[in-house]
Amino acid sequence: MEKVCILGLGYIGLPTASLLAAKGFSVHGVDKNPKVVDAVNKSYPHIHEPGLSNLLESAVHSGNLMASLEPVHADIFIITVPSLITDEHLPDIAHIKEAIHAIAPYLTPGCLIIIETTVPVGTTEKIAGWLSQLRNDLIIPSMTSTVPKAGKEKQVFLAHCPERVSPGRTLIELVENSRVIGGIDQLSGQKAHMFYKRFVCGELFITNARTAELTKLAENSFRDVNIAFANELSLICANLGINVWELVKLANSHPRVSILDPGPGVGGHCLPKDSWFIKHAAPELSKIIHTARKINDCIPNEIIVQIKCKAACFQEPVIACLGLTYKSNTDDLRESPAIKIVKQLLDEKVGKILIIEPHINALPKTLAKHDRIKLVDLQEGLTQANLVVLLVAHDTFKNIGKNILKEKVVVDTRGMWL
Ligand SMILES: NC(=O)c1ccc[n+]([C@@H]2O[C@H](COP(=O)([O-])OP(=O)(O)OC[C@H]3O[C@@H](n4cnc5c(N)ncnc54)[C@H](O)[C@@H]3O)[C@@H](O)[C@H]2O)c1
């Protein structure tokens, strides 16, 4: 049984660890958060993901998955810790560096290290450099030189294979998506290919590490740019008195047009960050990517203006905000534009705020400290509010009766009820 050690048991690492355990690998999960380690060992999924609960339970009960704070010796190491950007929008790969330092003492000749985290271009080569310094008894391949024959038995393998799943469909997409495998050298790419072939039924494309790094960044900024186009159209439409949702529907009836949905901004852990990685790598050349990022960043402010304008109709506005997460049908609040909007409304003391978010049990700390906000259920929120703001298109909001909404002033940022 091959041993896999996965560092970072979050939205990506935990489903991956559970799936690999179910496929017969012996999996050792590592997280630096003791609460996560404890939850995993008790087969409690600390994140919401369809199908994960059952898979995790059988993985732990089979004995194929256990977690701890420290890595162990393994045949394959997978890094799924976060990459971040600083407040100045610069790449921050400190978590990855920490994870590489943690695994270094456990590497043995022939083992394979896979970086699944989205990273700035050049990171895999940087990792090879760190490993060469940490373990000068091993041969770490590089992109520019081949490993001499004499060093082959001391060689480890290194590849970047960016994760592409969409939360909410993670367990399906881990198996079905195509994957891009960027080896630091040819042999590393082939080794990683052999590993993914054992559980992925999508196509597996081998390339070099730098290309794989930029491929993932390009995928995410492609979406960011296209959402910015839709968001810019929504601003133009508002200015011209045109319904943007009708416009998008009509334009998309053209066989070669596929405009994305406008919304209240772009959130999540990936999209807002990855465009900055490209901008940082090629500041003078990434003009569209940078402009799109700035447009998406300013959209929450535009929505706040709309809400304040509608709230001004009431002496005592009671605003029901439907949804807080960064996208529909998830519990993930990271970088959510809905949170930015609600926080600004609280800071500016715009009415009383009722939050309806069926995927969370408590408000995030940044909001909970205010006294004019309450987490309520849908019925209470709709009964008490005079202004209803749809921020996230959760399925549960689809069936709100038109007769109920008719009695309210509505701001629908998702076009769900229009
Ligand atoms: N979430 C997504 O939708 C998604 C999709 C595709 C790719 N990715 C990539 O995967 C990366 C991870 O995303 P995520 O959503 O799983 O993050 P996450 O925050 O849900 O989980 C990361 C986990 O890593 C742990 N961690 C941090 N540093 C560590 C260390 N040094 N050693 C051990 N554990 C450590 C954290 O405690 C946390 O539990 C992202 O940065 C992104 O690049 C994410």
What pLDDT score was predicted for residue 285?
Answer: 97
In a domain? residue 418: no
Cβ–Cβ under 8 Å, residues 228 and 236: no
182, 216, 250 - which closes a domain = 216
Round to whole Å and give the CA distance between 56 and 42.
Answer: 9
Residues 64 and 147 in one domain: yes
Q: Is the pLDDT of residue 399 over 80?
A: yes
CB of 83 within 6 A of ligand 1: the answer is: yes
CB of 32 within 6 A of ligand 1: the answer is: yes
CB of 6 within 6 A of ligand 1: the answer is: no
- How many angstroms is it from 80 CA to the middle of ligand 1? 5
Domain count within the chain: 2
CA distances from 35 to 6, 9, 32, 40, 359 (A): 17, 11, 9, 9, 20
- How many angstroms is it from 150 CA to the middle of ligand 1? 37
Query: pLDDT digits over 286-339, tens only?
Result: 999 999 999 999 999 999 999 999 999 999 999 999 999 999 999 999 999 999
CB of 48 within 6 A of ligand 1: the answer is: no
Nearest Cα to Cα of residue 196 among 184, 181, 208: 181
DSSP 8-state assignment for residue 40:
H
Ligand 1 atom with the shortest distance to the CA of 166: 3
Closest residue by CA, ligand 1 atom 33: 31
CA distances from 357 to 263, 396, 403 (A): 17, 10, 22
What pLDDT score was predicted for residue 355?
Answer: 98
Cβ–Cβ under 8 Å, residues 391 and 264: yes
Domain hosting 102: range is 3-216
Q: Is 76 helix (H, G, I), strand (E, B) or coil?
A: strand
Round to whole Å and give the CA distance between 83 and 171.
Answer: 22
Query: Which of 6, 12, 215 has most ligand 1 atoms within 8 Å of its beta carbon, as the pocket-test mutant?
Result: 12
161, 188, 216 - which closes a domain = 216
Residues 166 and 227 in one domain: no
Closest residue by CA, ligand 1 atom 35: 8
Q: Is the pLDDT of residue 148 over 80?
A: no
pTM: predicted TM-score of the whole model, two decimal places: 0.93
Q: Domain containing 353 — which CATH number?
A: 3.40.50.720
Query: pLDDT digits over 46-94, tens only?
Result: 998 999 999 999 999 999 999 999 999 999 999 999 999 999 999 999 9
Structure tokens, 45: 């999924």
DSSP 8-state assignment for residue 69:
S
Residue 362: which residues within 8 A CB-CB, separation 6 or more? 368, 375
Residues 94 and 111 in one domain: yes
Closest residue by CA, ligand 1 atom 12: 82
What pLDDT score was predicted for residue 133?
Answer: 96
- How many angstroms is it from 26 CA to the middle of ligand 1? 21
Round to whole Å and give the CA distance between 14 and 115.
Answer: 15
CA distances from 301 to 26, 131, 209 (A): 49, 45, 38
Residues 274 and 380 in one domain: yes
The pLDDT > 70 percentage for the chain reads 100
Residues 279 and 406 in one domain: yes
What pLDDT score was predicted for residue 202?
Answer: 97
What pLDDT score was predicted for residue 9?
Answer: 98
Cβ–Cβ under 8 Å, residues 188 and 157: yes
- How many angstroms is it from 245 CA to the middle of ligand 1? 35
Phi/psi class of residue 8: alpha, beta or left (left: φ > 0; alpha: ψ in -120 to 50)? left
Round to whole Å and give the CA distance between 337 and 307.
Answer: 14
In a domain? residue 28: yes
Cβ–Cβ under 8 Å, residues 171 and 15: yes
Ligand 1 atom with the shortest distance to the CA of 47: 20
Residues 232 and 184 in one domain: no
Structure tokens, 52: 């994960």
CB of 15 within 6 A of ligand 1: the answer is: no
Closest residue by CA, ligand 1 atom 30: 99
In a domain? residue 83: yes
- How many angstroms is it from 141 CA to the middle of ligand 1? 26
Residues 148 and 198 in one domain: yes
CB of 77 within 6 A of ligand 1: the answer is: no
Closest residue by CA, ligand 1 atom 37: 33
What pLDDT score was predicted for residue 122?
Answer: 97
Residues 22 and 57 in one domain: yes
Residues 233 and 212 in one domain: no
Residues 192 and 205 in one domain: yes
Query: Which of 81, 174, 271 has most ligand 1 atoms within 8 Å of its beta carbon, as the pocket-test mutant?
Result: 81
Q: Which residue has the tokens 């480890």?
A: 156
DSSP 8-state assignment for residue 307:
H
In a domain? residue 299: yes
Query: pLDDT digits over 160-201, tens only?
Result: 999 999 989 999 999 999 999 999 999 999 999 999 999 999
What pLDDT score was predicted for residue 150?
Answer: 72
In a domain? residue 206: yes
Closest residue by CA, ligand 1 atom 21: 10
DSSP 8-state assignment for residue 405:
H
In a domain? residue 205: yes
DSSP 8-state assignment for residue 71:
-
Cβ–Cβ under 8 Å, residues 260 and 226: yes
What pLDDT score was predicted for residue 262?
Answer: 97
Residues 80 and 150 in one domain: yes
Round to whole Å and give the CA distance between 391 and 380.
Answer: 17
Q: What angle do CA 30, 51, 174 make, to 5 degrees?
A: 65
Round to whole Å and give the CA distance between 265 and 228.
Answer: 9
- How many angstroms is it from 81 CA to the middle of ligand 1? 4
Residues 48 and 125 in one domain: yes
The residues carrying an active-site annotation are 216, 270
- How many angstroms is it from 157 CA to the middle of ligand 1? 22
Closest residue by CA, ligand 1 atom 36: 8
Sheet holding 318-322, edge to edge: 373-375, 352-356, 318-322, 387-390, 409-412
